Amino acid sequence: LSQAQALCRSSRSEMCGAGASSSTHLLDLLEEPIPGVGTYDDFHTIDWVREKCKDRERHRKINSKKKESAWEFTKTLAGVIDIVADWMNDLKEGVCLSAMWFNHEQCCWDSNETTFAERDKCPQWKTWAELILGQAEGPGSYIMNYFMFTFWALSFAFLAVSLVKVFAPYACGSGIPEVITYIDQTSSSNRFYLILEFLDNVHGLSLGKEGPLVHVACCCGNIFSYLFPKYSKNEAKKREVLSAASAAGVSVAFGAPIGGVLFSLEEVSYYFPLKTLWRSFFAALVAAFVLRSINPFGNSRLVLFYVEYHTPWYLFELFPFILLGVFGGLWGAFFIRANIAWCRRRKSTRFGKYPVLEVITVAAITAIVAFPNPYTRQNTSELIKELFTDCGPLESSQLCQYRSQMNGSQAYSEGSDAAATPGVYSAMWQLSLALVFKIIMTIFTFGLKVPSGLFIPSMAIGAIAGRIVGIAVEQLAYYHHDWFLFREWCEVGADCITPGLYAMVGAAACLGGVTRMTVSLVVIVFELTGGLEYIVPLMAAVMTSKWVGDAFGREGIYEAHIRLNGYPFLDAKEEFTHTTLAREVMRPRRNDPPLAVLTQDDMTLAELQNIISQTSCNGFPVIVSKESQRLVGFALRRDITIAIENARRKQEGIMLNSRVYFTQHAPTLPADSPRPLKLRSILDMSPFTVTDHTPMEIVVDIFRKLGLRQCLVTHNGRLLGIITKKDILRHMAQMANQDPESIMFN
């Protein structure tokens, strides 16, 4: 916003439809500041230029020693969410008798009775069938475990949707579209909702908790910003805090501090100066340090899916990696269209009016279908970890049942490049069914009235597809090692192909296809897995998925949901190529009533209140007279109302026929006139203006780069009309052959 700083004194805008306010340095310094003036109503667009001017004025008034503000707050909440989510997820299968608060893995840590083949079984851990029926095997125990799995899934789903409905309606969804819109320009309620987001990962739905963790971090940042006047009194500074908070949220969600900073820069933040960059980096560093201290994963590692591959990738493998990128792009484009179409249809039906019933129904279908397949029954994060893992002597997964070349048994050598047993092929069939299940349920689940992240489900879909492709390429190299593709670098019995690497690349490709992230996604994935050596395959797959997805539409899932919800968001990625002019977009139009304006010194208080009561505009241009239409400034509806109430409370003699003036000196009045009301202190003397012949391409660019709420349109210095941010959004929808009134948030 270097342009904004240059224009702070000479050009700024206010709004008739979303309201703006006056700069602090433009107030009449002879008058006492009025409490409440210069603030915003809930869900109103903020003015970045005005807020930057206020911050510069604040710096001028600092004469004492500069105080350093506290930006960083402990992210212990994220570690607690991880631990509790794992415990509640395992509660659907059984309980630890020795310590009720232990999950399955923690319960068996100290057991000396576990075996290599059944390392997840120990006397301390009991399934629900063992507790209720006293038997671990048989049809009865299977049915009991099936019933308890479904029961707990429905219970957690009901609890999650009930909390959202009763306490925090804006906690539903991933929260990232709301964070993007809030940081962009929109004011919000002071109750920036915080809910127990760990419930989104334990109700069995095809969702994750990583997106909501970004929402949680921003909620914490918003709450703590009210402790410091520097941030609580300036909306632009508060958004710098939230940019750092979103970086910290990704840091604690994935253990990726650098990726978190890049995510905030690439996806979330509208205004990201250099000081916010290093502060965000420091916030992500502190968050990662606290997460490492808590050790929620129980493996003394920061990252969620740490892997360690022992073989390099070869140039030939770029071809299947690119194919995975194509799959990711196709999946992303298909998911965005299908999910948006389903969300629109759900809103228009009676079923969508009952969110509790809707969530319970989807949760019941998910639990009933998921239980028979072990890859859909288990926690999605554990599934991804298993798919990423390279086969070795210590792995007992069905995906690693390879036949040894030495004796034909199922023993392991150093690697997994050997003949696959029927167990591997059975696992591939189960993974194929899991892939279809995940694709269908993710489409119908994302957007329900529960906290719902999309990172983990998208990564799971890509990891399943990647593991299947990796095993196929591995077996192809084993049985056809004499082909020219493998002859030069893959010897008989050598460990050439790593299926886990394909799962990692597929996960990145599918997540990139859905979100259209590039740089931040690659960094998050290699931080998440520790696979820095494989950054080139990740880059190739992610860029391919973005190109393929962009061929069907440039919107990512977050931008699509912003548009679906009608949030007033001007996407900087969207180009405006039309040749319209400002006079074609401004209000009032030909058949509209005239623009509501105020004159600078010949209105009474009754006339002013009458204009306010008869119009819904949140701001009014102030002109010299209705004959000249020469622009003087701009005054907010909210500021006018507060100033009138303050004057009536503190001053005597203010009556309905009192003269209202916005000039420096009071006009000449008869001796018997009531006391006049001076409102110059709330007048913005430098509203942003454009001429009626300004191309809309330039106007849209100004709104995006300066963060304007509105600008006034003039012709030879005479006021003609006003253009607000919502006018631009309606005009862009009209140019795209959409109904202009159907895209705005009610």
DSSP string, 661-704: E-SSSPPP--TTPPPPEE-GGG-BS-B-EEETT-BHHHHHHHHH
Are 640 and 617 in contact, with CB atoms under 8 Å apart?
no
Instruction: Say whether 505 sits in a helix, a strand or coil.
Output: helix
Residue 9 has pLDDT above 50, yes or no: no
Distance of CA 328 to the CA centre of its chain: 20
Give the integer Cα–Cα distance in Å for 307 and 529. Answer: 5
Residue 576 has pLDDT above 50, yes or no: yes
Please enumerate in sequence order all residues whose Cβ is within 8 A of that of 465, keeping only pairs 6 or more positions apart, or say none. 324, 327, 435, 506, 510
- Give the confidence band of 338 by pLDDT, cuts at 50, 70, 90: very high
Task: Tell me the β-bridge partners of 95.
Answer: 126
Angle between helices 235-254 and 274-294 (to 10 degrees): 40
Range picked from 223-227, 580-584, 650-654 for highest mean pLDDT: 580-584
Residue 312 has pLDDT above 60, yes or no: yes
pLDDT (average), residues 657-677: 85
Ordered alpha helix ranges (H), 553-590? 557-565, 582-585
pLDDT value, residue 79: 57
Q: Which helix (H) or strand (E) holds 719?
A: strand 718-724
Which one is predicted more confidently, 80 or 711?
A: 711
Residue 655's nearest CA partner among 601, 599, 606 is 606
Q: Which helix (H) or strand (E) holds 634?
A: strand 631-636
pLDDT value, residue 27: 35
**Amino acid, single-letter form, for residue 105:** E
Give the integer Cα–Cα distance in Å for 74 and 59. Answer: 28
Which one is predicted more confidently, 666 or 302?
A: 666
Taking only the tens place, the pLDDT of each residue in 616-645 is 888 899 999 888 889 999 998 888 989 888
The total of other beta-carbon atoms located within 10 Å of residue 685's CB is: 17
- Give the confidence band of 394 by pLDDT, cuts at 50, 70, 90: low
Give the integer Cα–Cα distance in Å for 737 and 741. Answer: 12
Which one is predicted more confidently, 478 or 660?
A: 660
Residue 554 has pLDDT above 90, yes or no: no
Give the integer Cα–Cα distance in Å for 210 and 174. Answer: 8
- Give the confidence band of 18 by pLDDT, cuts at 50, 70, 90: very low
pLDDT (average), residues 205-234: 80
Comparing 142-146, 182-186, 680-684, which segment has the lowest mean pLDDT? 182-186
pLDDT value, residue 117: 53
Which one is predicted more confidently, 471 or 203?
A: 471
Are 91 and 152 in contact, with CB atoms under 8 Å apart?
yes
Residue range 582-736 forms a domain whose CATH class is alpha beta
pLDDT value, residue 19: 38
pLDDT (average), residues 450-456: 84
Domain ranges of the chain: 76-294, 315-387+429-561, 582-736
pLDDT (average), residues 582-606: 88
pLDDT (average), residues 315-331: 93
Residue at token pair 């125990």: 141
Domains 76-294 and 315-387+429-561 share a fold: yes
pLDDT value, residue 414: 43
pLDDT value, residue 254: 77
Taking only the tens place, the pLDDT of each residue in 514-543 is 999 888 888 888 887 776 788 899 999 999
434 HSE (CA, 13 A, CB side): 30
Residue 220's nearest CA partner among 87, 89, 81 is 81
State which fold the 315-387+429-561 domain adopts: Clc chloride channel (1.10.3080)
Which one is predicted more confidently, 10 or 722?
A: 722
For the chain, give the percent of residues with pLDDT over 90: 20
Instruction: Say whether 155 sits in a helix, a strand or coil.
Output: helix
Angle between helices 318-348 and 455-479 (to 10 degrees): 150
Are 541 and 506 in contact, with CB atoms under 8 Å apart?
yes
pLDDT value, residue 20: 37
Give the integer Cα–Cα distance in Å for 405 and 422. Answer: 16
Backbone angles phi, psi at 676, to 5 degrees: -75, 165
pLDDT value, residue 514: 93
This prediction's pTM: 0.79
Comparing 74-88, 440-454, 480-494, 710-724, which segment has the lowest mean pLDDT? 74-88
Q: Which helix (H) or strand (E) holds 714?
A: strand 710-715
The total of other beta-carbon atoms located within 10 Å of residue 278's CB is: 12
- Report the mean per-residue pLDDT for the chain: 78
- Sheet of strand 619-623: strand arrangement: 598-599, 619-623, 631-636
Please enumerate in sequence order all residues whose Cβ is within 8 A of that of 233, keeping only pairs 6 or more positions apart, or say none. 54
**CATH placement of domain 76-294:** 1.10.3080.10
DSSP line for 428-452: HHHHHHHHHHHHHHHHHHTTSSSB-
pLDDT value, residue 67: 37
